[in-house]
Amino acid sequence: MRIVLVGPPGAGKGTQAAFLAKNLSIPHISTGDLFRANISQQTELGKLAKSFMDKGELVPDEVTIAMAKDRMEQPDAASGFLLDGFPRNVSQAEALDEMLTSEGMKLDAVLDLEVPEDEVVKRIAGRRICRNDSSHVFHVSYKAPKDEGVCDVCGGELYQRDDDSEETVRKRLEVYHTQTEPIIDYYKAQGLVVTISALGKVEEVTVRAMEALKRKDDDK
């Protein structure tokens, strides 16, 4: 299957993408991973992307599209892929359609992870990271440390990242509503969107997503 995963920040896209890709035996193609790989390997596209990022500018759509195209042309993506973080706006969605059409392919589904805005804010603003090891992550509501502000694993200080503050999260949501959400209507017009609730345990959401994708596949 060729799938696009969409949803607001804090919807758990990265987590679900990893599980779904494994269950469906297709590669998980994340724009974040694409940028990191191209920059670390110093590809021409990576150098170009870094030149914009170093100036604090957004990487132009055509660079992101070229990176995604290059990745989708790799042998492991021949029988399908799961796109996470791309397309990010309607112009990228149109470019993806053109790209797939030129290869005689098309998307099978667009999986929309739905989460209420207040839950997104609660999920992200409640995160606390250990200063000693950023892989030690806690949450004031869902995974509170035994002692407030202290990492259970190593005793390091727990802190809230600047981009996890409520004000920043709400700004990120505004960007999502303005730039990315319109692609849902774009894909709805093509009959591709499957919307599921991303509330509940990770495993429950994965089961929900797999069932929704299977129904979509059976309807073809």
Binding residues: 10-15, 31, 36, 57-59, 85-88, 92, 127, 137-138, 161, 172, 200
Residue 13 annotated in active site? yes
Let me know the angle formed at the C-alpha of 90 by 81 and 69, rounded to the nearest 5 degrees: 35
Distance of CA 90 to CAs 55, 81, 131, 165, 182, Å?
Answer: 25, 20, 38, 28, 7
| Contact predicate 134/123, CB 8 Å | no
The residue among 8, 1, 53, 20 whose CA lies nearest residue 179 is 8
What is the C-alpha to C-alpha distance for residues 175 and 170, in angstroms, rounded to an integer? 9
Catalytic residue of the set 2, 13, 71, 216: 13
* 73: phi then psi, degrees, rounded to nearest 5: -90, 0
Binding residues for AMP: 31, 36, 57-59, 85-88, 92, 161, 172
Residue 128 annotated in active site? no
Catalytic residue of the set 161, 188, 214, 215: 161
Residue 127 annotated in active site? yes
What is the C-alpha to C-alpha distance for residues 83 and 180, in angstroms, rounded to an integer? 14
Catalytic residue of the set 122, 127, 128, 216: 127
Binding residues for ATP: 10-15, 127, 137-138, 200
Catalytic residue of the set 71, 123, 128, 172: 172
Annotated catalytic residues are 13, 88, 127, 161, 172
